[in-house]
Amino acid sequence: MSTTAEHAGGIAGHIHPEPQGFIRRYVFSIDHKIIGIQYLITGFVFLVLAGLLAEIIRTQLLHANGGFVSNDVYNEVYSIHGSAMVWLVVIPIVTGAFGNIIMPLQIGARDVAFPWLNMLSFWIFPVAGLMLFSSFLMGAPVAGWTEYPPMSLLGGPGTSMWAAAIFLVGVSSTLTGINFVVTMFQMRAPGMTFTRMPLFCWAQLATAPLLMIATTALAAALAALFMERQFGVPFFDPTKGGSPIMWQHMFWFYSHPAVYIMVLPMFGAISEIIPTFARKPIFGYKMIAFSSMAIALAGFMVWAHHMFTSGLAPYLQLPFMILTFTIAIPTGVKFFSWVATLWGGKIHYTSSMMFALAFVALFTFGGLTGVFLAAVPFDLHVHGTYWIVGHFHYVLVGGSLTGIFASTYFWFPKFAGRMLNETLGKIHFWLFFIGVNMTFLPQHWLGSLGMPRRVPEYDPQFQTWNDVSSIGSYIMTLGILVFFVNVLVSMRNGKKAPPNPWGARTLEWQIPSPPHYYNFKHIPTVFGLPYDFSQPLPYKGLEEELTDSPVHAGAH
Amino acid sequence: MAVATLPHGAAAAHGDHGEVDQLYVETRALRLQGFLLFLVSDCVLFSSFIFAYLYMRNSGQGWPPAGINHLDVAFAAVNSVVLFGSGATMHYALENWKHNNFGKYAFFMIATIILGAMFLAGQAYEYTNLYFKEHVSWAGSGIFGAGFFTLTGMHGFHVTVGVIYLTVLFLQSVHGVYTKDKYFGLTAGTLYWHFVDVIWVALFSIFYLI
Ligand SMILES: [Cu+2]
Q: Which residues pair with A452 in a beta bridge?
A: A385
Q: Cis omega before residue B64 (within 30°)?
A: yes
| DSSP-assigned states of every residue in A411-443 | HHHHHHSBPPPHHHHHHHHHHHHHHHHHHHHHH
Q: What's the CA gap between A336 and A284, in Å, rounded?
A: 9
Q: Cβ–Cβ of B49/A224 closer than 8 Å?
A: yes
Report chain A residues whose CB lies below 8 A from the CB of B48. 216-217, 219-221, 250, 253
* A window 469-508, beta carbon within 8 A of B: none
Q: Cβ–Cβ of A6/B146 closer than 8 Å?
A: no
The one-letter code for the residue type at B48 is S
Instruction: Give the pLDDT band of residue A26 (cuts 50, 70, 90).
Output: confident
* B window 45-74, beta carbon within 8 A of A: 45, 47-49, 51-52, 55-56, 59-60
Look at residue A272 and give its three-state secondary structure. Answer: helix
Instruction: Give the pLDDT band of residue A2 (cuts 50, 70, 90).
Output: very low
Report chain B residues whose CB lies below 8 A from the CB of A243. 55-56, 59
- State the Cα angle at B154 between B151 and B157, rounded to 5°: 150
* Residue A207, domain extent: 5-555
Number of domains chain A contains: 1
Look at residue A68 and give its three-state secondary structure. Answer: coil
CATH number of B49-209: 1.20.120.80
Q: Within chain A, how many helices (H) and strands (E) appear? A: 19, 2
Residue B13's CB is within 10 A of a number of other CB atoms, namely 18
Least confident span in A84-88, A301-305, B70-74, B105-109: B70-74
Residue B49 has pLDDT above 50, yes or no: yes
Give the model's pLDDT for residue B181. 87
Residue A375 has pLDDT above 50, yes or no: yes
Q: Which residues pair with A516 in a beta bridge?
A: A519
Give the model's pLDDT for residue B5. 34
Residue A9 has pLDDT above 90, yes or no: no
* Chain B residue at shortest CA distance from A253: B48
Contacts by B61-64, CB closer than 8 A, 24 or more apart:
B64/B144
Give the model's pLDDT for residue B72. 83
- State the Cα angle at A542 between A538 and A545, rounded to 5°: 145
**DSSP run (H or E) holding A136:** none
Instruction: Give the pLDDT band of residue A377 (cuts 50, 70, 90).
Output: very high
Q: What's the CA gap between B109 and A145, in Å, rounded?
A: 48
CA Rg value for chain B: 20
User: What value does the mean pLDDT of chain A take?
Assistant: 93
The one-letter code for the residue type at B76 is A
CA distance B115 to chain A (A): 29
Q: Cβ–Cβ of A216/B44 closer than 8 Å?
A: yes
Q: Within chain B, how many helices (H) and strands (E) appear? A: 6, 0
Look at residue B155 and give its three-state secondary structure. Answer: helix
Residue A523's CB is within 10 A of a number of other CB atoms, namely 25
pLDDT tens, position by position, A255-287: 999 999 999 999 999 999 999 999 999 999 999
Q: Which residue in B37, B40, B60 is closest to A241 by CB distance?
A: B60
Residue B55 falls in which region: left (phi positive, over 0), alpha (psi -120 to 50) or beta: alpha
Q: Cβ–Cβ of A217/B48 closer than 8 Å?
A: yes
CA distance A214 to chain B (A): 8
Q: How many CA atoms lie within 13 A of A254 on its CB side?
A: 29
Where residue A510 sits, what CATH number does that domain have?
1.20.210.10
Instruction: Give the pLDDT band of residue A555 (cuts 50, 70, 90).
Output: very low
Q: Cβ–Cβ of B33/A11 closer than 8 Å?
A: no
Instruction: Report the separation in Å between the CA atom of B152 and the middle of ligand 1, taken as the mean of its atom positions.
Output: 32
* Chain A residue at shortest CA distance from B40: A213
CA distance B103 to chain A (A): 34
Q: Cβ–Cβ of B56/A1 closer than 8 Å?
A: no
Contact predicate B72/B126, CB 8 Å: yes
Q: Is the Cβ of A311 closer than 8 Å to some Cβ of chain B?
A: no
**Which CA distances in Å does A87 have to A11, A91, A93, A97, A403?**
33, 6, 10, 13, 17
In 3D space, the residue among A12, A209, A38, A11 whose CA is nearest the CA of residue A119 turns out to be A38
Q: What's the CA gap between A18 and A12, in Å, rounded?
A: 15
Q: Cβ–Cβ of A9/B22 closer than 8 Å?
A: yes
Q: What's the CA gap between A479 and B63, in Å, rounded?
A: 58
Residue B64's CB is within 10 A of a number of other CB atoms, namely 12
Least confident span in A99-113, A114-128, A165-179, A311-325: A311-325
Q: What's the CA gap between A262 and A207, in Å, rounded?
A: 9
Q: How many CA atoms lie within 13 A of B154 on its CB side?
A: 21
| Axis-axis angle for helices A71-83, A115-134 (nearest 10) | 170
Q: Cis omega before residue A456 (within 30°)?
A: no
Q: What's the CA gap between A413 and A418, in Å, rounded?
A: 5
Instruction: Report the separation in Å between the CA atom of A253 and the middle of ligand 1, taken as the mean of its atom positions.
Output: 9
* A window 173-212, beta carbon within 8 A of B: 174, 177-179, 181-182, 185-188, 190, 192, 212
Contact predicate A35/A111, CB 8 Å: no
Phi, psi (degrees; rounded to nearest 5) at A506: -75, 165
Q: Which residue in B33, B49, B146 is closest to A234 by CB distance?
A: B146
Q: Which residues pair with A519 in a beta bridge?
A: A516
Report chain A residues whose CB lies below 8 A from the CB of B22. 6-10, 13
Q: Where are the domains of chain B?
A: 49-209
Percent of chain A exceeding pLDDT 90 equals 86
Q: What's the CA gap between B148 and B138, in Å, rounded?
A: 8
CA distance A191 to chain B (A): 8
CA distance A309 to chain B (A): 17
pLDDT tens, position by position, B179-188: 888 999 999 9
Residue B143 has pLDDT above 50, yes or no: yes
In 3D space, the residue among B193, B203, B176, B163 whose CA is nearest the CA of residue B49 turns out to be B203
CA distance A11 to chain B (A): 6
* B window 99-138, beta carbon within 8 A of A: 138
* Chain A residue at shortest CA distance from B27: A11
Averaged pLDDT for residues B151-168: 97
Q: Is the Cβ of A1 closer than 8 Å to some Cβ of chain B?
A: yes
Of the residues B39, B48, B136, the best mutation for testing chain A's interface (the one with the most A CB atoms within 10 Å of its CB) is: B48
Q: Cβ–Cβ of A220/B52 closer than 8 Å?
A: yes
Give the model's pLDDT for residue B22. 84
Q: How many CA atoms lie within 13 A of B49 on its CB side?
A: 30
Model pTM above 0.95: no
Look at residue A496 and give its three-state secondary structure. Answer: strand
Residue B23's CB is within 10 A of a number of other CB atoms, namely 16
Q: What's the CA gap between A210 and A260, in Å, rounded?
A: 8
pLDDT tens, position by position, A405-430: 999 999 999 999 999 999 999 999 99
Q: Is the Cβ of B75 closer than 8 Å to some Cβ of chain A?
A: no
**ipTM for the complex?**
0.91
Residue A5's CB is within 10 A of a number of other CB atoms, namely 10
